[in-house]
Amino acid sequence: MSDISLGTSVAGIPEAAPRQPPALTTGPVAWVRANLFSSWLNTALTLVLAYFIVRYAIGFVDWAFVNAIWSVPNNQTQACRALKASATPGACWAVVTEKHRFILFGTYPYEEHWRPALVCVLFTALYIVSGMRRFWRKELALVWIATLVVIGILMWGGILGLSYVPQERWGGLPITLILATFGLAFAFPLSILVALGRRSSMPAVRVLCVAYVELIRGVPLISLLFMASVMFPLFLPEGINIDKLLRAQVAITLFAGAYLAEVVRGGLQALPKGQYEAADALGLSYWYKTGFIILPQALRLVIPPLVNTFIGFFKDTSLVLIIGIFDLLTAGKTAVVEPAWQGFGVEVYLAISVIYFCYCFAMSRYSQNLEAELNRHRGR
């Protein structure tokens, strides 16, 4: 390595041979020494923790894989129960194997399960396509509309030879994805308008936005959902009934909007005043200024808290279980109500956690990449 730069010194000034940092200050060995074994106390801590980690990891692997039962014939759960009581307990994944279609799709008619399955695939594909920067064009909006229409047709059916499935029978993962996607897709633009409104020079707009944020933020999501499902219909004239899912959807959207608005406002406030002034001085109108100068910078600043809120709301959609909507978590809960499968909740909840984790972790990783990419201009 050192001979590469020999003879390349500028203008004849002899260049010192590049010096390497002393060995044992870099590399994994040095890292381990510095972080794990730097003193006798640290060494002791490392050893104790390592013991517990290894011990419980082995225990978990034994339970989850080695001793586990993967399937049982015809709901015959005796083997599972015996295993649970034995000295070497294991997981009964048979409950997930047996019930996975119910957990994923709820009470949707069994023969038609390919439809919600396709809906989940479409949603996931939509997220992936929307995440790729090369697709950030106007056509993406059309793709969204088209996909959402197809999803609606698949879920409801009633045309194109698909049998009609009423909304009461929908359930499982599609419900979670519908609530999260529509909720955030409407809440995000709403939140931007509210955040801008809170900084407006027009007092009426400002008061309205502050009132919205404070009122919605001041009550738990559960009470909003209750209001949407129980109280709201009382105010409607006789004979008019708005879909329960839609009402829950609106409640979630409004709730998410209030939280996101505060995140966006944080970004607006973090932007130096000079940026507003420079845009004003160039004669840019309010909307050009906001669209070209303010929001692109403000939103980049708040990607981490924004995604934090997104992830929070993806999981908060599970609260609809209290008003009897069959989302992923409710479906899982219901799956273990059946007497044959009672007592195997841990396995079901673990399986559901894995699904939630996949979506949330993907969001988290994606936001990190996006942040790095969009903020490249900050580096020199």
Partner 1 sequence: MSAALDTETHLRSAVRTDAPPAILLDKVNKWYGAMHVLRDVSLQVATGERVVVCGPSGSGKSTMIRCINRLEQHQEGRIVVDGTELSDDVRALDAIRREVGMVFQSFNLFPHLTILENCTLAPIWVRRMPKREAEELAMHYLTRVKIPDQARKYPGQLSGGQQQRVAIARALCMKPKIMLFDEPTSALDPEMIKEVLDTMVGLAEDGMTMICVTHEMGFARQVADRVVFMDRGEVVEQGAPESLFNDPKTERLRTFLSQILRGH
User: Using CB under 8 A as the criterion, which residues of the chain lie in contact with partner 1 when the complex forms?
Assistant: 272, 274-275, 277-285, 288, 292-293, 296-297, 300, 377-380
Bridge-partner residues for 92, per DSSP?
69
CB of 375 to partner 1, least distance (A): 9
Q: What residue spans of 62-137 are helical by DSSP H?
A: 78-85, 94-105, 114-131
CB of 289 to partner 1, least distance (A): 10
Cβ closest to partner 1, residue 12 vs residue 379 = 379
CB of 287 to partner 1, least distance (A): 10
- Spatial contact of 179 and 317, defined as CB atoms under 8 Å apart: yes
Cβ closest to partner 1, residue 297 vs residue 308 = 297
Bridge-partner residues for 327, per DSSP?
172
How far apart are alpha carbons 116 and 328 in whole angstroms?
12
CB of 296 to partner 1, least distance (A): 5
How far apart are alpha carbons 213 and 374 in whole angstroms?
29
Q: 124 CB contacts (<8 Å, ≥6 apart)?
A: none
CB of 216 to partner 1, least distance (A): 31
CB of 304 to partner 1, least distance (A): 17
CB of 54 to partner 1, least distance (A): 48
Closest to 126 (Cα-Cα) out of 110, 143, 112, 101: 143
Give the single-character DSSP code of 214. Answer: H
The dihedral region occupied by 367, where left means phi > 0, alpha psi between -120 and 50, and beta the remainder, is: alpha
Cβ closest to partner 1, residue 237 vs residue 283 = 283
- Spatial contact of 306 and 253, defined as CB atoms under 8 Å apart: no
Cβ closest to partner 1, residue 46 vs residue 200 = 200
Cβ closest to partner 1, residue 134 vs residue 378 = 378
Cβ closest to partner 1, residue 233 vs residue 296 = 296
Burial of 281: CB neighbours in 10 Å, binned 0-12, 13-18, 19+ = exposed
CB of 275 to partner 1, least distance (A): 6
Cβ closest to partner 1, residue 137 vs residue 380 = 380
- Spatial contact of 333 and 318, defined as CB atoms under 8 Å apart: no
How far apart are alpha carbons 141 and 130 in whole angstroms?
9
Cβ closest to partner 1, residue 264 vs residue 293 = 293
